[in-house]
Amino acid sequence: MNDRGYARIGLAMAGVLAMVGSARAGSHSWRISEVFSNADGTVQFIELKECCGNGAENFVAGKTVTSQATGSTFTFPGNLVGSTAGKRILLATTAFAALSGAPTPDYTIAANFIGLNGDTLNYAPANMYDCFTYGMGALPTNGISSINITGTASSCPDAFTTGVNSPTNYVTGIPGSVIAGCIDGDGDGYGSPGDSSCPNGNALDCDDTDDTVFPGATELCDGSIDQDCDGLDDCEEAACCDDDDTCTQEQCGIGGICESTAREYGDANNDGAQDIFDILCVLDGFAGVLNVPCTLTNLDFSPCPGGDGAIDIFDILAVLDGFSGVNGCGCPAGP
């Protein structure tokens, strides 16, 4: 065989290799792998996974992801870079991207792209590359769980499970997880963690298994439960560690036991003396500034004993009386 014959064979082999490479390169082995939505559809994502170890599934430009239920369509604006083998592509809403724990979406889709009450999602429907169908009630909307498609077939009725969401993007390949919406285990209107979508706002419920425990609840002096979620033991609560006697000062001692010590009438800051600092302390309370030791319990002198639950002009006069050595409670008098 002469040189010209070898050249023809070489050209033919190059053509065959080019056709093989072209056949392997494409975008056909992406599969819809995870679907997520919160209750109002503002936080949603669709994850696609390269199913079959193909490293050249880069050519997604112009391909679409569609929802039959909502009529929404997303079109890939360009091709992917790098090996695609086993990689994932993350399409998500803007509200998803703003959540803590959310990986950065590769592409943005509109809110309510995904149907909440059943849908058929298609990847490249013109080419019939993949689709996934779920029925009414199948898509979790609790803000935690997602649909995870376990099959890799391109047909619509793929098997799936539900579990904690784990969105993964193409760029990092590192899975994240989000909480989207109010997680209120005991139905008291407060979530754990707190969320602005909860009926009572984003305050944290310190015990989401007990509907009598929530921020602002009435504290019960039961020695054990922090009903109002302020982080204080019962004896640290002024209402629980108070004997309604302006001649004594209560504090939470060792073992959570209230301890009571005698004090002089008018000693608002409990430093053992009546002086200008006590007057300033009560004036702060009168202005609504209450800081330890200038607390409501310590400043509420009048009427004596026990006070009336408010810091007013009569408490200011009572401190001035104590400062001048006059009192009507039978306490040790001031100077």
At 244, the pLDDT band (50, 70, 90 cuts) reads: low
pLDDT at res. 23? 41
Tell me the two tokens of residue 206.
Answer: 């310190």
pLDDT at res. 59? 97
DSSP of 242-285, one letter per residue? --S-TTEEEEE-GGG-EEEEE--TT-TT-SSS-SHHHHHHHHHH
Q: Give the integer Cα–Cα distance in Å for 324 and 319.
A: 9
Where is pLDDT greater, at 245 or 33? 33
Segment among 7-11, 248-252, 265-269, 327-331 with least mean pLDDT = 7-11
pTM tops 0.75:
no
| pLDDT above 80 for 17 | no
Q: How many CA atoms lie within 13 A of 262 on its CB side?
A: 6
Residue 296: which residues within 8 A CB-CB, separation 6 or more? 238, 285, 290, 309, 311
pLDDT at res. 243? 66
The answer to whether 299 touches 268, Cβ cutoff 8 Å, is yes
What is the arithmetic mean of pLDDT over 263-274? 78
User: Order of strands across the sheet with 30-37?
Assistant: 107-108, 88-92, 44-50, 30-37, 145-149, 160-164
Phi and psi, residue 277, nearest 5°: -70, -30
Name the percent of the chain lying above pLDDT 70: 81
DSSP of 6-17, one letter per residue? HHHHHHHHHHHH
The answer to whether the peptide bond before residue 105 is cis (omega within 30 degrees of 0) is no
Where is pLDDT greater, at 8 or 82? 82
Residue 82: which residues within 8 A CB-CB, separation 6 or more? 58
At 38, the pLDDT band (50, 70, 90 cuts) reads: very high
pLDDT tens profile 42-59:
999 999 999 999 999 999
pLDDT at res. 172? 96
pLDDT tens profile 136-160:
999 999 889 999 999 777 678 789 9
Give the domain ranges of the chain: 24-164, 182-231, 266-323
Segment among 16-20, 64-68, 200-204 with least mean pLDDT = 16-20
* Amino acid at residue number 203: A
Q: Is 41 helix (H, G, I), strand (E, B) or coil?
A: coil
Q: Give the integer Cα–Cα distance in Å for 171 and 300.
A: 62
Where is pLDDT greater, at 272 or 134? 134
Q: Which CATH number applies to 24-164? A: 2.60.40
Where is pLDDT greater, at 204 or 94? 94
pLDDT at res. 308? 82
| pLDDT above 80 for 264 | no
pLDDT tens profile 107-141:
999 999 999 999 999 999 988 999 999 999 999 99
pLDDT at res. 199? 82
pLDDT at res. 6? 47
Where is pLDDT greater, at 328 or 34? 34
Mean pLDDT estimate for the chain: 83
